[in-house]
Amino acid sequence: MSGTADLQNSILAHLSNTSPMRLAQLEHTLGRAGNVITQAMCKIIRRGFVDRLEAGLYAITNAGLQFIKEGGQITSGPREKHSGNRRPNRRMSLGQRVWNVMRMGDAFDVPSLVAAAQNTTDKAPQNNIQRYVRHLVKAGYLHPLPTRTKGTRPGSNGFSRYRLARDTGDTAPTLRLRSNPVEVFDQNTKEVFPCV
């Protein structure tokens, strides 16, 4: 069992005893960073064992409670026996992974998004995520916070922190970079917002 699966089981066990719980409570209880917990939480939600009630607030589902009651353990690897047929490669886009993380936490900065959402095949994820965040701020999706995350280098001003201000649904907004000004197209509401 991988470390990620161990963390998923720990999260599920805590939620089965004390539900709902906030991300900050889980960070304190489990002694793990928020971005690591968020990454594990995404996987548990995809299994249907946990629901996100609001930004940063999670509750175990009936399916999750049943899984615990039956002594189930989340393990790494495929969830069902392999059929022998290859599935088409439908890798989730970087923007969608970033959007999923934004919808789960109370507040975030670009480094935490990079750590939680990047894939080994992504090229220049930090630059792409910074651009995505910058345009979402201009379009009114993200609200910049007054406090910054402490920087890692001497003399650093730290990192800007943000909170999601407009959560319109599961599908990530997309950038229309060829528009002037750049636009954000919301796949959930079919609206377009200029980045001004």
pLDDT in tens, 149-171: 877 777 778 889 999 999 998 89
Output the pLDDT for position 19.
Answer: 72
Which alpha helices (H) appear in the chain, and where do they start and end? 3-17, 23-30, 34-47, 62-69, 94-104, 110-117, 125-138
| pTM > 0.85 | no
Q: What fold does the segment set 3-69 form as a domain?
A: Arc Repressor Mutant, subunit A (1.10.10)
Burial of residue 62 (CB within 10 Å: 0-12, 13-18, 19+) is exposed
User: pLDDT for 15-43, tens place per residue?
Assistant: 888 778 888 888 888 888 877 888 888 88
Compute CA distances 52 → 60, 64, 106, whole Å: 9, 13, 12
Q: Name the CATH architecture for the domain at 94-194.
A: Orthogonal Bundle (1.10)
Return d(Cα 141, Cα 24) in angstroms, integer.
23
User: pLDDT for 68-116, tens place per residue?
Assistant: 888 888 886 554 554 445 444 445 788 888 898 888 867 888 888 888 7
* Tokens encoding 159: 């990192």
Compute CA distances 23 → 26, 107, 150, 184, 194, whole Å: 5, 10, 20, 29, 32
Provide the 3-class DSSP secondary structure of residue 192: strand
User: At 55, is the pLDDT very low, low, confident or very high (cuts 50, 70, 90)?
Assistant: confident
Output the pLDDT for position 76.
Answer: 67
- CATH 1.10.10.10 domain locations along the chain: 3-69, 94-194
